[in-house]
Structure 1
């Protein structure tokens, strides 16, 4: 069943979306805080995110920016902010589509169908040896076993996949995942790579895929 994560802080709209989408055959998770949304995405696989820009704990634009650091899952923004700049900013930040409130049930369902159809037509799955990662659905597998990663672990692994066979310095990883203010703190990366090895490598003490370049950084190899 297609699973949709809804990030929306309005109880009436939550109720409307729940009734409409469940009747259309979708499985839903609903929350009103961005951090709760991140937690759900780290624990479960989804096919689409519906995002309100006015969440209880953070702005949806900031949520989008952070989300796009580690996932390519399609995002449909649902917002009462109807200004052109707001729409353009959301799209630049990684939204796949923008629907202004109020909207009709039929238009919402049509937009959802388009995004799901487009998403299913393109496979973003990547492979390195026995390790598979699907950036669309935020799924990681070793062989047939699905592996649960934290948000930071997943972001590091995806970055390494996107630069397979290339050495990434500690500072390059820190800058991309944590931000410029964390440069020259290689211990952050070392701890998370060690955790990744425990989850992904058959022998973490002698890794096959996640290799260390001494005093430099890390490299992902087949």
Structure 2
């Protein structure tokens, strides 16, 4: 079955280009120019991926992304003419999965779409590192074959890190995804729970092999 992609772009020419490109690759598409109508559509019908322009007519795309992430974890690729590092970091902190700056090539965008859809398709697989095993369907974690009890927050952090293995996640990305946007800027929350996860999952919590700190930035689940 073909995947469905929602295009949120208020420039008619760009919206037409994106929908034509996607349909040529057999994707189903739903296109919107206004953020509010796109949010309403998503409450009624699920999609597999969202392409988001930040410069919307009725609201700022960053604010739209924040609203979406309050209840929906569908992958979002931001497509924007805004090229500053601050804009990119802010979009990622608000929950974007990827960021493509205009102008871009069709081949690059299609590659980013395929990569994000692949990530979605494996999100229900069993994740493993070392002797730790996480089953997201049953919400069970084990180490050395024995069940490990994690709090909901610990579990959510671990699953987030495992779904983005070998990728550095900033403190604010983790806070936004696990606690919500109201808690960004409070990295001590993450530090406390990461320490607890290391106690439960690492053989040497003081010298972790997998749950690595990226000083001043955030954390990474190291597999390679």
TM interval, shorter chain, is 0.5 to 0.7
Cα distance in structure 1, aligned partners of 2:46 and 2:94 = 22
Q: Runs of 5+ in structure 2 lacking a partner?
A: 126-135, 139-155, 157-178, 183-224
Cα distance in structure 2, aligned partners of 1:15 and 1:55 = 16
Distance apart, 1:60 and its partner CA: 0.5
Aligned residue number for residue 58 of structure 2:
57
| Segments ≥4 residues shifted beyond 4 Å | 124-127
Cα distance in structure 1, aligned partners of 2:92 and 2:107 = 22
Instruction: With the length of structure 2 as denominator, give the TM-score of the two structures.
Output: 0.56
Distance apart, 1:43 and its partner CA: 1.2
1:122-137 paired onto structure 2 within 5 Å = 122-123=123-124
Aligned residue number for residue 82 of structure 1:
83
Cα distance in structure 2, aligned partners of 1:45 and 1:72 = 11
Partner of 2:99, secondary structure, is strand
Matched, 1:47 2:26: no
Distance apart, 1:78 and its partner CA: 0.2
Cα distance in structure 1, aligned partners of 2:89 and 2:98 = 10
Q: Higher RCO, 1 or 2 (CA under 8 Å, sep at least 6)?
A: 1
Matched, 1:69 2:73: no
Instruction: With the length of structure 1 as denominator, give the TM-score of the two structures.
Output: 0.56
Aligned residue number for residue 13 of structure 2:
12
Cα distance in structure 2, aligned partners of 1:7 and 1:44 = 15
Aligned residue number for residue 31 of structure 2:
30
What are the superposed Cα offsets for residues 29-53 of structure 1, whole Å, 9 maximum, x if unpaired?
Answer: 0001111111110111200000000
Q: Runs of 5+ in structure 1 lacking a partner?
A: 128-161, 163-175, 180-222
Cα distance in structure 2, aligned partners of 1:13 and 1:75 = 17
Distance apart, 1:88 and its partner CA: 0.4
